[in-house]
Structure 1
């Protein structure tokens, strides 16, 4: 009987705790939800914000869109500088290095197939792994320089004929080199004809591997710089907003004046330092 009463009391205590937690969550969650949407509406300009809220609003806006925080701080002249810096990092850092990485990745894949004796001549014989590799570094059309579909990759066969490398399947793309099992040669011109072209070489697999790894690191570094710059401009907007809202009135000051405090019933001469914070 006593055990039953104790168990019932324990169950009632649990129900009381659960009810209390539910009431607290019902009171807190709507407040937190309302605070979140209130902050969001101020960030996007749907509600006015106070001068004290300006630093965090400028910080959030700069994280969403670089330069927005500077515009909020009436520093609109900084926004075009930030946009040009971001565009330059993408165009000349991320994009160009990514194109070069893809180009040398394609060359590296073809050179790897050659080293595995998976490139065949028109008679079906596998080319020697020591077959010299040449590149045409200046295609006739400048638009082809970083086009992996038209990467100019030549092999010099035993009869001194330069040939391009094409996949054996007719419906596969050179972009998906991993799906290609074999390559074959497409003879294009002789050594005498190649003398009039800008051919460089010979190259090897290691050269292309180092090149692709180098441009991949450059691309990753450019992405890191873009992220760091994004964060720095947001911090700049926050600091600038703090400086604009900093109180420089006379209430924030300190003064030194004579004082004669009582010490053990006697008067003592001295100075007092008074610092006033608002």
Structure 2
């Protein structure tokens, strides 16, 4: 009997020992993570082309290229003043002034030789004191061909000078637009267009007796 009791006690002790050695995973708490890493939100990185596009499409609303063009259209040099380009104003007026003097010079001689040619066609002579009387006497020995060529030459030079005036006026408008767009803004659009086309201009009625009723010309068109 003692032998059986001893065996039972031995088996019970082994069972208790085995249960004590089994870890209790349910009751063991996980150790706290004492090292905390602060995570910052990732900053978006833009591609160089996207950055350039974003920068390009931000115009300066306080400085309008449209206003610069309109002011240069009304008064030459006004757009340059609007863009704070003071030093360009003397250049604008110097160039336009030279072209204007060429227009006046050729127009005066054109009117003079045209009057002489008209007197000769009618077979008349101006009376003393009439306009161009002195000039008529000065060219009294000149041939009719010489007078006609002089009329055509001065008319052509006058027309070219007028085209030069229009071209100079348009150039200072474009200059004002470009300064306003590139210096005071970050973008460039297609609102301004510049077209040059050949064409014909009808002669005035008092000059319609010559070889042709039309003279070649250049048409300049601005759109903004």
TM-score normalized by the length of structure 1 = 0.41
Q: Of residues 156, 160, 167 in structure 2, which corresponds to 1:217?
A: 156
Deviation at 1:204, TM superposition (A): 1.6
The equivalent residue for 2:94 is 84
The equivalent residue for 1:58 is 68
CA distance in 2, matches of 1:200, 1:148: 14
- 1:42-191 correspondence to structure 2 within 5 Å: 51=61, 53-91=63-101, 93-114=102-123, 148-154=131-137
Change (3 A) 1:90 1:72: same
CA distance in 1, matches of 2:155, 2:186: 49
Q: Cα deviations across residues 78-136 of structure 1 (Å, max 9, x unaligned)?
A: 01111121122112x1101000001111221222233xxx56xxxxxxxxxxxxxxxxx
Gaps spanning 5+ residues in structure 1: where? 1-49, 120-146, 155-198, 249-278
Retained in 1: the 8 A contact 2:80–2:89? yes
* Secondary structure of residue in 1 paired with 2:84: coil
CA distance in 1, matches of 2:156, 2:115: 17
Retained in 2: the 8 A contact 1:62–1:233? yes
CA distance in 1, matches of 2:167, 2:131: 30
Retained in 2: the 8 A contact 1:56–1:238? yes
Q: Cα deviations across residues 180-230 of structure 1 (Å, max 9, x unaligned)?
A: xxxxxxxxxxxxxxxxxxx67732212111101110111111111101111
RMSD between aligned residues = 2.6
Deviation at 1:149, TM superposition (A): 3.3
Q: Cα deviations across residues 43-87 of structure 1 (Å, max 9, x unaligned)?
A: xxxxxxx63652111111000101000001110110111112112
CA distance in 1, matches of 2:134, 2:61: 58
Gaps spanning 5+ residues in structure 2: where? 1-59, 188-224
CA distance in 2, matches of 1:151, 1:51: 62
CA distance in 2, matches of 1:153, 1:240: 52
Change (3 A) 1:200 1:223: closer
Deviation at 1:245, TM superposition (A): 2.3
CA distance in 1, matches of 2:63, 2:185: 12
CA distance in 2, matches of 1:239, 1:151: 51
Retained in 2: the 8 A contact 1:102–1:148? no
Retained in 1: the 8 A contact 2:77–2:89? yes
CA distance in 2, matches of 1:200, 1:97: 18
Q: Whose strand fraction is larger, Structure 1's or Structure 2's?
A: 1
CA distance in 1, matches of 2:74, 2:135: 42
The equivalent residue for 2:171 is 232
Structure number with bigger Rg: 2
